[in-house]
Amino acid sequence: MSTARPSPERRAAYPHFLSITTRWADNDQYGHVNNVVYYQFFDTVVNRYLIEAGALDVAGGEAIGLVVETACRYFAPVSFPDTVHAGLRVVHVGTSSVRYEIGLFANDNDDAVAQGHFVHVYVDRVGRRPVPLSAALRAALAPLEPR
Amino acid sequence: MSTARPSPERRAAYPHFLSITTRWADNDQYGHVNNVVYYQFFDTVVNRYLIEAGALDVAGGEAIGLVVETACRYFAPVSFPDTVHAGLRVVHVGTSSVRYEIGLFANDNDDAVAQGHFVHVYVDRVGRRPVPLSAALRAALAPLEPR
Amino acid sequence: MSTARPSPERRAAYPHFLSITTRWADNDQYGHVNNVVYYQFFDTVVNRYLIEAGALDVAGGEAIGLVVETACRYFAPVSFPDTVHAGLRVVHVGTSSVRYEIGLFANDNDDAVAQGHFVHVYVDRVGRRPVPLSAALRAALAPLEPR
Amino acid sequence: MSTARPSPERRAAYPHFLSITTRWADNDQYGHVNNVVYYQFFDTVVNRYLIEAGALDVAGGEAIGLVVETACRYFAPVSFPDTVHAGLRVVHVGTSSVRYEIGLFANDNDDAVAQGHFVHVYVDRVGRRPVPLSAALRAALAPLEPR
């Protein structure tokens, strides 16, 4: 087939991981984690990485990362009570923006159940105009570049 | 600029609309509806259209629509207690798949705050293999083709 | 029976109403709105009333209402795409606290599908110590006392 | 004061625990996990316990547990990226119903940040009439009785 549909990646494609527990309410009427919830996993792995790296001061930072684009491709279902392991890498660091890619893995499986991206543009908190990424943020992102 | 970043569409680009009320819990720590919630709006306008058109029998239908791809671009924030008006159109109907495009509009504004897409592949409920779209579904989708 | 289990109330028991649209993701694996989501409805009707009455300045107010207790009794299911009409009344106004009672009604039905309560204690935003309710808040609450 | 407001319990009051990771979207506009999300934790610890004990067959069981009452008292905030440890005990087992009590603990703290209860009534899946608890369920619940 000539389709551009990608195939699932392996865990080795991601330099950083976070384990996230699923919840009963994540399952929708078909008995699988609802497609929307995958983006909670994306949001969570990105923001937690930044908080723990000291690169995101949610309450008081001058610059905040606005989400301008997200996307996800779904390969296989997950269901509560599975554990999701979210892999994270950075594929583009621009003047004011960062593009993250995320792969989600269920339990002990090595094929992604879903993968997608998440683009942040940094703006000043008050005026919401793009600002250059801080040196602290750039340093925090370096370990997320693909190996 | 040579960027491919699209600009916000107008309401006239969508043949069908659903009004959705926002909730206190939709707002995240920055005081705006969290990026994840936009996909709840996508999911809701698509499924409600199908249910009301008689083309989705959630509990007993032989075929179910699996979400295989979603994406969203964010142009402007919305905040509780804004009302979101979700515009819906269909841009591709394949043998087993449908690609929906959704534009989200806040209150009385005519520029989209976000737009994205949502791809369903229909599979049989038990074996989860692709099946052709039913005639009832094809008929239900016809009014969603762009005017 | 000697049980204290209350029976469903009617709409006339509530002086204020807000209509809330359900979402696909609200339904859980049993095909009904998950029990957790009812509290989103509680939170939404209370906060929206206060915002529209000018009695809640989310971003800048000196005092914020902390939720210290909530409860809900469930009488009948609701399911997406039902519309929920949330009735609101105030049954106790203390020095620093307010007790709201909420009844949820589905579509055109006059018997509550669920009812519960929600207790706010007002504290100063920084020190999180209880503060007396403002005159503006007391005035806003007056119309919510049962008729 | 003569108030009945309870004080936070310790972990030793609960015979079973489940660790649950918080998510970015759990935080509301005040920067704390929204009061509604606590009930997702309740729902999750109860249902996961039952699934792992083999006492809940979500897809095919003849009897399902309907939630008829929930309540929560909030003592202290939690915030993403805290980890929540949900303690679970059973305090009443009736003919058709079970009353669970849940205490939520943040990170390494030994004082509950919140505690509440959750009442299930078991009904047959089709007719939704109360049915006696199965022997398997009664056996699964025994270890949850307070030590």
Contact D36 C34 (CB under 8 A): no
Q: Tell me, what amino acid is at D29? A: Q
At residue D127, the pLDDT reads 84
* Alpha carbons A4 and C116: distance in angstroms, whole number: 51
Tokens of A73: 């491709």
Q: For Cα atoms D111, D117, D122, give the angle at the middle one, nearest 5 degrees.
A: 150
A contacts of D81 (beta carbons < 8 Å): 44, 47-48, 51-52
Least confidently predicted of A86-100, C4-18, C73-87: C4-18
Does D28 contact B24 at a Cβ distance shorter than 8 Å? yes
The span from the CA of D34 to the CA of B24, in Å, is 9
- Using a CB-CB distance cutoff of 8 angstroms, which residues of chain A are in contact with residue C28? 24-25, 27-29
Which band of pLDDT confidence, cut at 50, 70 and 90, is reported for residue A2? very low
pLDDT at B100 over 80: yes
Nearest residue of C to residue A34, measured between CA atoms: C25
* Length of chain A counted residue by residue: 147
Chain D, window 18-37: residues with a beta carbon less than 8 angstroms from a chain B beta carbon: 24-25, 27-29, 31, 34, 36-37
Average pLDDT over residues A121-145: 92
Share of chain A above pLDDT 90, in %: 80
Of 3.40.50.1470, 1.25.60.10, 3.30.950.10, 3.10.129.10, the CATH number of C11-144 is 3.10.129.10
Residues D122-139, mean pLDDT to the nearest whole number: 90
As a whole number of angstroms, the distance between CA B94 and CA B82 comes to 36
Q: Using CB atoms, which residue from A29, A34, A36 is nearest to C31?
A: A29
- How far from the centroid of its chain's Cα atoms is residue A13's Cα? 14
The 8-class DSSP code of residue B29 comes to T
Chain B residues touching D37 at Cβ < 8 A: 25
User: Closest chain D residue to A37 measured between Cα atoms?
Assistant: D25
Q: Model confidence at D58, in pLDDT bands (50, 70, 90)?
A: low
With a cut of 50, say whether residue B53 has pLDDT above it: yes
Across the interface, of B35, B37, B39, the residue whose CB is closest to A35 is B39
φ/ψ of C124, rounded to 5, equals: -75, 145
Region D10-30: what's the mean pLDDT? 96
C-alpha distance from residue B35 to each of A40, A43, A115, A116, D32 (Å)? 9, 9, 17, 14, 18
Looking at the complex, report in whole angstroms how far the Cα of residue C64 sits from the nearest Cα belonging to chain B.
14
The HSE-up count of residue D70 (CA atoms within 13 Å, CB side) is: 24
Q: Is the pLDDT of residue A38 over 70?
A: yes
Question: Within an 8 Å CB–CB cutoff, is residue A62 touching chain B?
Answer: no
Phi, psi angles (nearest 5°) of residue A89: -145, 160
Q: Which residue has the higher pLDDT, B129 or D3?
A: B129
Q: What is the pLDDT of residue B2?
A: 39
Across the interface, of C66, C70, C74, the residue whose CB is closest to D67 is C74
In this prediction, residues D28-38 reach a mean pLDDT of 94
Q: Is B107 left (phi over 0), alpha (psi -120 to 50) or beta?
A: left
**Is the pLDDT confidence value at D138 over 70?**
yes
Q: Is C29 within 8 Å of A34 when comparing Cβ atoms?
A: no
CB contact under 8 A, A30 and B64: yes
pLDDT at position D75: 97
Is the Cβ pair D31, B29 closer than 8 Å? yes
- Residue in D24, D40, D51 closest to A44 by CB: D24
Residue C1 has pLDDT above 60, yes or no: no
Chain D residues within an 8 Å CB radius of C6:
none
CA-nearest residue to D115 within chain C is C69
Closest CA to C63 of C116, C121, C141, C115: C121
pLDDT for the residue B1 = 35
CB contact under 8 A, B39 and A40: no
Write out chain D residues lying below 8 Å of B36, CB-based.
Answer: 25
Quick one: closest CA in D to C64, which residue? D30
Among the partner-chain residues D36, D64, D73, the one whose CB lies closest to the CB of C39 is: D36
Which secondary structure element, helix H or strand E, spans residue B138, and what is its range? helix B135-141
Q: Are strands B114-124 and C83-93 parallel, antiparallel or unpaired?
A: unpaired
- Of the residues B18, B24, B67, the best mutation for testing chain C's interface (the one with the most C CB atoms within 10 Å of its CB) is B24
**What's residue D1's pLDDT?**
36
β-strand partners of C104: C86, C114
Of the ranges B135-144, C120-129, D2-11, the best mean pLDDT one = B135-144
Supply the pLDDT for residue B58: 66
Q: A24: distance to nearest CA of chain D, Å?
A: 5
Q: Which residues pair with D119 in a beta bridge?
A: D69, D99
Q: Which of B20, B25, B43 is facing C43, going by the closest CB pair?
A: B25
DSSP string, D90-146: EEEE-SSEEEEEEEEEETT-SB-SEEEEEEEEEEETTT--B-PPPHHHHHHHGGGS-
Question: In this model, does residue D117 exceed pLDDT 80?
Answer: yes
pLDDT band at A147 (very low <50, low <70, confident <90, very high): low
The number of beta carbons lying within 10 Å of the beta carbon of residue B53 is 17
Residues A83-99 as b or e (16 or more Cβ within 10 Å = b): ebbbbbbbeebeebbbb
* pLDDT tens per residue, range C90-134: 999 999 999 999 999 999 999 999 999 999 999 998 888 999 999
Confidence of residue B6 (pLDDT cuts 50, 70, 90): confident
Q: Are B42 and B102 in contact, with CB atoms under 8 Å apart?
A: yes
Any chain A CB within 8 A of the CB of D107?
A: no
Confidence of residue B146 (pLDDT cuts 50, 70, 90): confident
Q: Are strands A83-93 and D63-74 parallel, antiparallel or unpaired?
A: unpaired
Q: Strand runs (DSSP E) across B22-142, as ranges? A: 63-74, 83-93, 97-106, 114-124
Structure tokens that stand for D99 in this block: 């009353």
Strand order in the sheet with C63-74: C16-21, C83-93, C97-106, C114-124, C63-74, D63-74, D114-124, D97-106, D83-93, D16-21
Mean pLDDT along residues C34-62: 90
- pTM (2 d.p.): 0.95
Domain ranges in chain C are: 11-144
For B5, which DSSP code?
P
Please identify which residue in the block is written with the tokens 């209880």. C130
Q: Are C18 and C88 in contact (CB under 8 A)?
A: yes
Six token digits for residue C32: 């009904």
Q: Which of B24, B31, B36 sits opposite D25 (nearest CB)?
A: B36
Distance CA B62, CA B123 (A): 8
Residue predicted with more confidence, D29 or B61: D29
Smallest CA–CA distance, residue A115 to chain B, in Å, is 10
CB distance C23–B31 less than 8 Å? no
**ipTM of the predicted assembly exceeds 0.95:** no
B50 closest CA partner among B32, B42, D38, D19: B42
Most D-contacting residue of A29, A36, A44, A56 (CB-CB within 10 A), to test interface: A44
Instruction: Provide the terminal-to-terminal Cα distance of chain A, rounded to the nearest Å.
Output: 30
Task: Determine, for residues D43 and A23 on separate chains, whether the beta-carbon distance falls below 8 Å.
Answer: yes
How many C-beta atoms lie closer than 10 Å to residue A126's C-beta?
A: 8
B76 in contact with D, Cβ within 8 Å: no
Nearest CA in chain A to B120: A74
Instruction: State the pLDDT at residue B4.
Output: 59
Q: Determine which of A42-56, A58-72, A123-137, C74-88 has the lowest per-residue pLDDT on average.
A: A58-72
Instruction: Report the distance separating Cα B81 and Cα C83, nearest Å.
Output: 17
Q: Does D17 touch chain A (CB under 8 A)?
A: no
Q: In the structure, how many helices (H) and strands (E) does chain B have?
A: 2, 5
Contact at CB, D28 and B31, closer than 8 angstroms: no
Indicate the residue of B36, B67, B70 with minimum beta-carbon distance to A71: B70
Q: Which of B24, B28, B31 sits opposite D25 (nearest CB)?
A: B28
Give the count of Cβ contacts less than 8 A between chain A and C. 22
- Summarize the confidence of residues D87-95 as an average pLDDT: 97
**To which residue do tokens 């199908």 refer?**
B50
Banded pLDDT at A30 (limits 50, 70, 90): confident
- List of chain A residues whose C-beta atoms are within 8 Å of the C-beta of residue D59: 31
The lowest-confidence range among A51-55, C31-35, D1-5 is D1-5
Cα four-point dihedral sign B52, B56, B60, B66:
negative
DSSP string, chain A: ----PPPPPBGGG-SEEEEEE--GGGB-TTSSB-TTHHHHHHHHHHHHHHHHTT---TTT-SEEEEEEEEEEEE-S---TTPEEEEEEEEEEE-SSEEEEEEEEEETT-SB-SEEEEEEEEEEETTT--B-PPPHHHHHHHGGGS--
* Residues B29, B22: Cα–Cα separation, whole Å: 16
